[in-house]
Amino acid sequence: MIISIASGKGGTGKTTVATNLALAVKQGVQLFDCDVEEPNVHLFLHPEITRTEPVNAPVPKIDLEKCTFCKKCMDICQFNALAVLKKDVLVFENLCHSCGGCFEICPENAVIEKDRSLGVIEHGSVKGISFIHGKLSVGQVMVPPIIKKVRSYTDPDMITIIDAPPGTSCPVIAAMKKTDFILLVTEPTPFGFHDLKLAVETVRVLNIPCGLVINRVGIGNDEVNQYARKENIPILMEIPFDKKIAQIYSRGEMIIEKLPEYKEKFEALFKKIVQMIEKNRENNGEEK
């Protein structure tokens, strides 16, 4: 069972929901922080890191002794990562998406693969939770390969909770694809409402069931609730705009540990998610 926790807008409380939900789950759980540009789950759970491994991506290197400057590699590249000059070939590594087209099409075998370091992923554990997060290196821009590497460690026998990046771009798609459920976290503000609509459109393209957590209830207006009712999106949990919760968050502590009544609320949230996943599987004729 794979649950991705996402949002259209940053700062809605994804990490708060992801960490507290993981702690509330009584069975074996994996928690992946896929917001690799600015991972912050570790700031709240303080896992013991036991292993670090690099994440690399292949990029082209041109053997100018073999190259005939035919421009076939440049023409096939959809990202303008290659520029063929009269007697040289410029490679813009930051634009390369490692598709391999230039390696395959070169008639002279003048394109050689070399590794480019994108970042690292770190493995650890805390309070019975298996933890993995990715870290994008400073100056790098290729996020999806690191997210895919983190997700490659998904254990089918465990419950996997993914803290996805904010927004609706390629990194978010990499974190949400092939999951069983997407939990969208939003806030009842004009910005939260606007970006929630974008996130819902993205989820529907992926055809994955979703539900909603509304954080900071009590500020803003009722547009999010009205939209959820209109679009038939279940509101699975509401978290009030509460000074106590804000103080707990600001200290990097867990809500369910400081406010025991929220342990039951996050347990109930998990049960609702499981029920929706099972119902979706039944509707699709899949086994539980």
Is the separation of the CB atoms in 20 and 254 below 8 Å? yes
Q: What is the pLDDT of residue 242?
A: 94
Q: What is the pLDDT of residue 288?
A: 52
At 287, the pLDDT band (50, 70, 90 cuts) reads low
Q: Per-residue pLDDT for 29 more than 90?
A: yes
User: Where along the chain do its domains lie?
Assistant: 2-54+129-282, 64-109
Q: What is the pLDDT of residue 26?
A: 74
**Model confidence pLDDT, tens digit, residues 203-227:** 999 999 999 999 999 998 899 999 9
Assigned token pair, 15: 């990490």
Q: What is the pLDDT of residue 3?
A: 98
Q: What is the pLDDT of residue 48?
A: 96
**Model confidence pLDDT, tens digit, residues 113-155:** 999 999 999 999 999 999 999 999 999 989 999 999 999 999 9
Q: Per-residue pLDDT for 50 more than 60?
A: yes
CATH code for the part of the protein at 64-109: 3.30.70.20
CATH code for the part of the protein at 2-54+129-282: 3.40.50.300
Is the separation of the CB atoms in 120 and 135 below 8 Å? yes
Q: What percent of the chain has pLDDT over 70?
A: 99
- What residue type is assigned to position 97 of the chain? H
Assigned token pair, 282: 């039944």
Average pLDDT, the chain: 95
Nearest alpha carbon to residue 88 among 62, 111, 108: 62
Instruction: Report the distance separating Cα 24 and Cα 26, nearest Å.
Output: 6
Q: Per-residue pLDDT for 187 more than 60?
A: yes
Q: Per-residue pLDDT for 87 more than 90?
A: yes
At 40, the pLDDT band (50, 70, 90 cuts) reads very high
